[in-house]
Protein backbone atom coordinates (compact mmCIF):
# COMPACT_ATOMS: atom_id res chain seq x y z
CA UNK A 1 0.00 0.00 0.00
CA UNK A 2 1.12 3.56 -0.62
CA UNK A 3 0.63 4.44 2.99
CA UNK A 4 -0.68 2.49 5.97
CA UNK A 5 -2.23 3.89 9.11
CA UNK A 6 -2.75 1.68 12.13
CA UNK A 7 -4.83 2.57 15.12
CA UNK A 8 -6.28 0.79 18.10
CA UNK A 9 -10.00 1.23 18.68
CA UNK A 10 -10.94 4.08 20.99
CA UNK A 11 -11.16 3.35 24.70
CA UNK A 12 -13.94 0.82 25.29
CA UNK A 13 -16.19 0.14 28.25
CA UNK A 14 -14.11 -2.98 29.04
CA UNK A 15 -10.85 -0.96 28.83
CA UNK A 16 -12.25 1.38 31.50
CA UNK A 17 -12.69 -1.47 33.99
CA UNK A 18 -9.56 -3.29 32.72
CA UNK A 19 -11.42 -6.37 31.48
CA UNK A 20 -9.91 -8.15 28.48
CA UNK A 21 -11.66 -9.50 25.40
CA UNK A 22 -15.44 -9.26 25.08
CA UNK A 23 -17.32 -7.16 22.57
CA UNK A 24 -18.10 -3.96 24.45
CA UNK A 25 -19.03 -0.55 23.06
CA UNK A 26 -16.79 2.51 23.05
CA UNK A 27 -16.62 4.54 26.26
CA UNK A 28 -17.26 8.28 25.86
CA UNK A 29 -13.49 8.98 25.64
CA UNK A 30 -13.26 6.43 22.81
CA UNK A 31 -16.15 8.12 21.05
CA UNK A 32 -14.23 11.43 21.18
CA UNK A 33 -11.29 9.69 19.49
CA UNK A 34 -13.60 8.23 16.79
CA UNK A 35 -14.80 11.75 16.01
CA UNK A 36 -11.23 13.10 15.85
CA UNK A 37 -9.98 10.42 13.47
CA UNK A 38 -11.37 11.86 10.18
CA UNK A 39 -9.52 15.12 10.75
CA UNK A 40 -6.30 13.43 11.89
CA UNK A 41 -6.33 11.42 8.66
CA UNK A 42 -7.39 14.29 6.46
CA UNK A 43 -4.21 16.14 7.38
CA UNK A 44 -2.19 13.16 6.20
CA UNK A 45 -3.99 12.28 2.98
CA UNK A 46 -2.09 12.82 -0.26
CA UNK A 47 -5.15 14.38 -1.92
CA UNK A 48 -5.93 17.63 -3.66
CA UNK A 49 -8.72 19.82 -5.05
CA UNK A 50 -12.34 18.80 -4.99
CA UNK A 51 -11.77 15.60 -3.11
CA UNK A 52 -10.11 17.42 -0.24
CA UNK A 53 -12.91 20.01 -0.18
CA UNK A 54 -15.44 17.18 -0.01
CA UNK A 55 -13.56 15.49 2.84
CA UNK A 56 -13.43 18.77 4.71
CA UNK A 57 -17.19 19.07 4.31
CA UNK A 58 -17.65 15.62 5.80
CA UNK A 59 -15.27 16.35 8.68
CA UNK A 60 -17.29 19.50 9.34
CA UNK A 61 -20.41 17.30 9.42
CA UNK A 62 -18.83 15.04 12.05
CA UNK A 63 -17.89 18.10 14.11
CA UNK A 64 -21.41 19.48 13.84
CA UNK A 65 -22.57 16.08 15.11
CA UNK A 66 -20.22 16.45 18.10
CA UNK A 67 -21.73 19.81 18.99
CA UNK A 68 -25.23 18.49 18.43
CA UNK A 69 -24.68 15.19 20.24
CA UNK A 70 -25.04 16.80 23.66
CA UNK A 71 -28.39 18.15 22.59
CA UNK A 72 -29.37 14.69 21.30
CA UNK A 73 -29.06 15.63 17.61
CA UNK A 74 -28.53 12.92 15.00
CA UNK A 75 -24.85 12.04 14.54
CA UNK A 76 -23.10 12.02 11.18
CA UNK A 77 -22.10 8.35 11.46
CA UNK A 78 -21.38 6.20 8.41
CA UNK A 79 -20.93 8.99 5.87
CA UNK A 80 -21.21 8.20 2.16
CA UNK A 81 -17.78 6.82 1.04
CA UNK A 82 -15.64 9.23 -0.97
CA UNK A 83 -14.23 8.22 -4.37
CA UNK A 84 -10.63 8.36 -3.10
CA UNK A 85 -7.95 5.67 -2.87
CA UNK A 86 -8.31 4.89 0.83
CA UNK A 87 -9.96 1.91 2.43
CA UNK A 88 -10.65 1.21 6.07
CA UNK A 89 -10.22 -2.26 7.53
CA UNK A 90 -11.72 -3.13 10.91
CA UNK A 91 -12.20 -6.29 12.91
CA UNK A 92 -15.70 -7.74 13.37
CA UNK A 93 -15.91 -6.37 16.93
CA UNK A 94 -18.05 -3.38 17.92
CA UNK A 95 -15.25 -1.26 19.29
CA UNK A 96 -13.32 -1.11 15.99
CA UNK A 97 -16.46 -0.67 13.86
CA UNK A 98 -17.58 2.20 16.11
CA UNK A 99 -14.13 3.81 15.99
CA UNK A 100 -14.21 3.76 12.18
CA UNK A 101 -17.77 4.91 11.74
CA UNK A 102 -17.09 8.57 10.94
CA UNK A 103 -14.47 7.82 8.31
CA UNK A 104 -15.74 8.64 4.80
CA UNK A 105 -14.07 5.69 3.05
CA UNK A 106 -15.16 2.20 1.98
CA UNK A 107 -14.91 -0.32 4.84
CA UNK A 108 -13.99 -3.95 5.09
CA UNK A 109 -14.43 -6.21 8.15
CA UNK A 110 -11.86 -8.94 8.77
CA UNK A 111 -12.45 -11.72 11.31
CA UNK A 112 -8.67 -12.20 11.19
CA UNK A 113 -8.26 -8.70 12.71
CA UNK A 114 -10.24 -9.64 15.85
CA UNK A 115 -8.36 -9.36 19.16
CA UNK A 116 -6.39 -12.30 20.59
CA UNK A 117 -8.87 -14.86 21.94
CA UNK A 118 -8.45 -15.10 25.69
CA UNK A 119 -10.65 -18.25 25.83
CA UNK A 120 -11.41 -19.17 29.46
CA UNK A 121 -10.04 -15.77 30.57
CA UNK A 122 -12.24 -13.70 28.24
CA UNK A 123 -13.96 -10.88 30.13
CA UNK A 124 -11.70 -11.11 33.21
CA UNK A 125 -9.27 -8.51 34.56
CA UNK A 126 -5.57 -9.46 34.88
CA UNK A 127 -6.10 -9.45 38.66
CA UNK A 128 -8.95 -11.97 38.34
CA UNK A 129 -6.84 -14.15 36.03
CA UNK A 130 -4.01 -14.14 38.61
CA UNK A 131 -6.48 -15.20 41.33
CA UNK A 132 -8.58 -17.72 39.40
CA UNK A 133 -5.88 -19.19 37.15
CA UNK A 134 -2.54 -18.57 38.92
CA UNK A 135 -0.67 -21.21 36.90
CA UNK A 136 -1.91 -19.74 33.63
CA UNK A 137 -0.97 -16.24 34.75
CA UNK A 138 2.53 -17.42 35.62
CA UNK A 139 2.95 -19.37 32.38
CA UNK A 140 1.97 -16.32 30.35
CA UNK A 141 4.39 -14.05 32.18
CA UNK A 142 7.19 -16.52 31.45
CA UNK A 143 6.55 -16.85 27.71
CA UNK A 144 3.98 -14.38 26.41
CA UNK A 145 4.78 -15.15 22.77
CA UNK A 146 4.04 -18.90 22.96
CA UNK A 147 1.55 -18.97 25.85
CA UNK A 148 -1.91 -20.04 24.65
CA UNK A 149 -4.99 -19.16 26.75
CA UNK A 150 -7.11 -22.24 27.66
CA UNK A 151 -9.51 -22.62 24.69
CA UNK A 152 -7.97 -19.44 23.26
CA UNK A 153 -4.94 -18.20 21.33
CA UNK A 154 -1.27 -17.36 21.72
CA UNK A 155 0.56 -14.45 20.07
CA UNK A 156 2.05 -17.02 17.68
CA UNK A 157 -1.50 -18.09 16.74
CA UNK A 158 -2.43 -14.45 16.12
CA UNK A 159 0.68 -13.84 14.01
CA UNK A 160 -0.22 -16.88 11.90
CA UNK A 161 -3.88 -15.99 11.36
CA UNK A 162 -2.87 -12.46 10.32
CA UNK A 163 -0.81 -13.74 7.41
CA UNK A 164 -3.56 -13.35 4.76
CA UNK A 165 -4.29 -9.81 6.01
CA UNK A 166 -0.65 -8.77 5.83
CA UNK A 167 -0.26 -10.27 2.34
CA UNK A 168 -3.33 -8.32 1.22
CA UNK A 169 -1.91 -5.14 2.79
CA UNK A 170 1.28 -5.56 0.80
CA UNK A 171 -0.63 -6.17 -2.43
CA UNK A 172 -3.04 -3.29 -2.02
CA UNK A 173 -2.27 -0.22 -4.17
CA UNK A 174 -4.48 2.12 -2.14
CA UNK A 175 -3.87 3.65 1.27
CA UNK A 176 -5.19 1.51 4.12
CA UNK A 177 -6.42 2.48 7.55
CA UNK A 178 -6.47 -0.49 9.92
CA UNK A 179 -8.59 -0.01 13.04
CA UNK A 180 -7.55 -2.91 15.22
CA UNK A 181 -6.67 -4.14 18.67
CA UNK A 182 -3.54 -4.07 20.79
CA UNK A 183 -2.30 -7.66 20.29
CA UNK A 184 -3.22 -7.73 16.60
CA UNK A 185 -1.54 -4.40 15.88
CA UNK A 186 1.59 -5.52 17.73
CA UNK A 187 1.77 -8.38 15.26
CA UNK A 188 1.10 -6.16 12.20
CA UNK A 189 3.58 -3.47 13.28
CA UNK A 190 6.14 -6.14 14.18
CA UNK A 191 5.80 -7.64 10.72
CA UNK A 192 6.20 -4.37 8.80
CA UNK A 193 8.99 -3.06 11.03
CA UNK A 194 10.77 -6.45 10.97
CA UNK A 195 10.85 -6.65 14.78
CA UNK A 196 12.18 -9.82 16.43
CA UNK A 197 9.33 -12.25 17.18
CA UNK A 198 10.09 -12.24 20.90
CA UNK A 199 9.57 -8.47 21.12
CA UNK A 200 6.09 -8.50 19.52
CA UNK A 201 3.98 -9.24 22.65
CA UNK A 202 5.27 -6.11 24.41
CA UNK A 203 5.47 -3.58 21.56
CA UNK A 204 4.06 -0.20 22.55
CA UNK A 205 0.76 0.52 20.79
CA UNK A 206 -0.62 3.61 22.55
CA UNK A 207 -4.35 4.28 22.76
CA UNK A 208 -5.80 7.24 20.86
CA UNK A 209 -2.79 7.48 18.56
CA UNK A 210 -2.51 7.04 14.81
CA UNK A 211 0.57 5.16 13.58
CA UNK A 212 1.65 6.09 10.09
CA UNK A 213 3.78 3.65 8.06
CA UNK A 214 5.51 4.98 4.95
CA UNK A 215 7.31 2.56 2.62
CA UNK A 216 10.91 3.56 1.86
CA UNK A 217 12.44 2.86 -1.57
CA UNK A 218 14.56 0.02 -0.10
CA UNK A 219 11.41 -1.86 1.00
CA UNK A 220 11.67 -1.00 4.70
CA UNK A 221 9.21 1.32 6.43
CA UNK A 222 9.33 4.60 8.31
CA UNK A 223 6.85 5.02 11.08
CA UNK A 224 5.53 7.88 13.10
CA UNK A 225 3.10 8.18 16.03
CA UNK A 226 0.44 10.89 15.68
CA UNK A 227 -1.37 11.41 19.00
CA UNK A 228 -4.92 12.74 19.21
CA UNK A 229 -4.70 16.58 19.31
O1 LIG B 1 -6.23 -9.15 25.56
C2 LIG B 1 -6.19 -8.02 25.07
C3 LIG B 1 -5.04 -7.13 25.13
O4 LIG B 1 -5.20 -6.03 24.28
C5 LIG B 1 -3.75 -7.83 24.81
O6 LIG B 1 -2.85 -7.34 25.72
O7 LIG B 1 -1.39 -9.31 25.32
O8 LIG B 1 -0.63 -7.39 26.75
O9 LIG B 1 -2.39 -9.00 27.55
P10 LIG B 1 -1.76 -8.32 26.37
Residue 169: Cβ within 10 Å count? 19
Q: 4 near 216, Cβ under 8 Å? A: no
Long-range contacts of 135-142 (CB under 8 A, 24+ apart): none
Distance (Å, rounded) from C-alpha 64 to C-alpha 53? Answer: 16
Report the chain's mean pLDDT, rounded to a whole number. 90
How high is the pLDDT of residue 63?
A: 66
How high is the pLDDT of residue 76?
A: 62
How high is the pLDDT of residue 71?
A: 40
Identify the active-site residue in 8, 161, 186, 208: 8
Rounded average pLDDT over 15-34: 98
Helix or strand (DSSP H, E) at 205: none
Assess whether the C-beta atom of 181 lies below 6 angstroms from ligand 1: yes
Looking at the CA of residue 155, tell me the nearest atom of ligand 1: 7
Distance 217 CA to ligand 1 centre (A): 33
Q: Given ligand 1 and candidates 146, 183, 190, which is best to mutate, with the most ligand atoms within 8 Å of its CB?
A: 183
Give residue-wise pLDDT tens across range 40-87.
Answer: 998 888 665 667 777 777 777 776 665 444 443 444 677 777 767 899
How high is the pLDDT of residue 193?
A: 94
Q: What is this model's ipTM?
A: 0.93
Asked if pLDDT for residue 189 goes beyond 90, the answer is: yes
How high is the pLDDT of residue 69?
A: 46
Give residue-wise pLDDT tens across range 199-226.
Answer: 999 999 999 999 999 988 888 899 999 9
How high is the pLDDT of residue 73?
A: 42
Amino acid sequence: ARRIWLTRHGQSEYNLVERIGGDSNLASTGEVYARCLPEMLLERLPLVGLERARIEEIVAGVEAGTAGAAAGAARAADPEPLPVPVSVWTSTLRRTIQTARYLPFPKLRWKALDEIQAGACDGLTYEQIAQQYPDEFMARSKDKLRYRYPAGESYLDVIQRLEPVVIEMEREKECIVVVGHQAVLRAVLGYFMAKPLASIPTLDIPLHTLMELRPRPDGTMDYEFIPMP
